[in-house]
Amino acid sequence: MFNAPDTTIGGAAAGDRNYITGGDSGIWALIQGPPNLVIRNNFVGTDMSGTAPLSPPSDYGITVDSVEGAGAQVIGNRIALAGSGVDAMQLQGSDALVQDNLLGVGPAGENLGLGADGIRSFNLHDSTITGNTIGNNYLTGLSLEGDTNNIVQGNLIGTDSVGGDQGGGAARGVLVTSLGIDASTGNTIGGDTTAEENVISNQAGDAIEVRNEGDLQPVPPGALLRNDANVFAGNRGSNNGSTASDLFLGLFDDLNDLGEGPGNPAATGPNAGIQTPVVTVTGPNLTRGTATVGATIRVFAKATASPGELGALLGTGTAGADGKWVVNHNSGQVAGALVTANQTTASAGSSEFAAPLATDATAPQTTITAGPKAKLKAKKTVAASFSFSSEVGASFQCKLDAGAFVACGSPALRKLKLGTHSFQVRAVDLAGNADASPATRSVKVVKKKKKKKGK
């Protein structure tokens, strides 16, 4: 199909659907694609129920060249491609919307079979890939090659809506790489809401890989080709390769033979060689650490120590001018639960994930080391000083009588009126744990008697 404006293949209703079997490719619109092309609700390589393969095409399922300003919409299609050595869907161009397609997976988790990649895009720009289910392929679930400024959110890769294993032995879930001398930059994978997260599971290798590779090898000075400024926000998944060299996400420099291995090469790695943040402590309700000044920090739960598993996004924060950051959790973590974090800067993009750290839920102990006598005399009021201590790094909260706990430091000065008073102080450690049994000192202030004349 060449340059046929406003073409619609299929439609929203079942009666509009095309059933396409056999041949080389199901729907081919890869060169000089039509402006405003719509490919919707078609079954390619399946039977009429869409739950079993039937004479799949020998090559591609759907190929699209999306026109800038009049982008293609590829929505709600179903593709079976068992036995093919190529890709279920290929995309290039700009301004495409690829949404709610079932590739290699039926509506109830049926294995429809797929070829090499689920979705392979090359030189694709300013497009959105969302809500798709991709499984049972043998290479890459979704590949971005020489792509810029695309959004990839809310996809199921290697799994389905009921959590089934649809991995198919794929090498990786998402690949971001160059195409020749064209780098992939400015792409966003995942998001900060549950609906925007990609769920990537059951891959033989990393859930997500970014690779600096291409036609320049070795790279001459000043001609480094890197895939930079790619953002990896909220994504989650499990049962990805236990031999994966990095936690869920791997950034690799293959151009300079610095491929598989833990860590991102600082001088030549993708995303400007950005390094992981430092996670110093994590508690039930917060995590803190250090990172690049101004970086966005994302903290994630981990259910296991496996490098192939990543849980829900617990919260986000920003590293201050001193590089320190604190992220408050959106759900409490139990003692020993693991968390990890990555950092993102506007210029570099996102880092890999820091080594997991176990949740510290042990409360600190607080001791009053000095204070007033149990009984004081005053005409109306008296100033009392209380000193206290706890573990290194702890902060303190003080309370007098029925008042609320407020931040304080040692020594704490309090003005006491006539009567009986209760001073309480509790330590709060760096993990956010508060002493559940505050240290207490009781003081009674009595009226000072006047001296009689002549005595």
Domain residue spans of the chain: 8-276, 367-447
- Using one digit for the tens of pLDDT, what is the confidence trace for 83-123? 778 899 999 999 999 999 999 999 999 999 999 999 999 99
Using the predicted structure, report yes or no on whether residue 447 has a pLDDT greater than 80: yes
pTM of the model: 0.92
Q: Average pLDDT, whole number, for the chain?
A: 93
Strands across the sheet containing 419-428: 375-378, 439-447, 419-428, 395-400, 406-408
Judged against a pLDDT cut of 50, whether residue 334 lies above it is answered with yes
Token look-up 């299929």 returns 10
To the question of domain 367-447 being in CATH 2.60.40.10, the answer is yes
Q: Are 412 and 398 in contact (CB under 8 A)?
A: yes
**Alpha-carbon span 66 to 74, nearest angstrom:** 10
Give 43-64 as a DSSP string: EESB-TTSSSB-S--SS-SEEE
CA angle 78, 81, 83 (to 5 degrees): 165
- Residue 446's Cβ-side half-sphere holds a number of Cα atoms within 13 Å equal to 7
Predicted confidence at residue 315, as pLDDT, reads: 98
**In which band, very low, low, confident or very high, does the pLDDT at 216 lie, cut at 50, 70 and 90?**
very low
Tokens of 398: 């003080």
Q: Do the Cβ atoms of 331 and 314 come closer than 8 Å?
A: yes
Residue for token pair 């291409």: 214
Q: What is the DSSP letter of 269?
A: S
Lowest mean pLDDT among 177-181, 218-222, 295-299: 218-222
DSSP class of residue 34 equals P
CA–CA–CA angle 388, 390, 396 (5° rounding): 65
| Cα 389 to Cα 391: distance, rounded to the nearest angstrom | 7
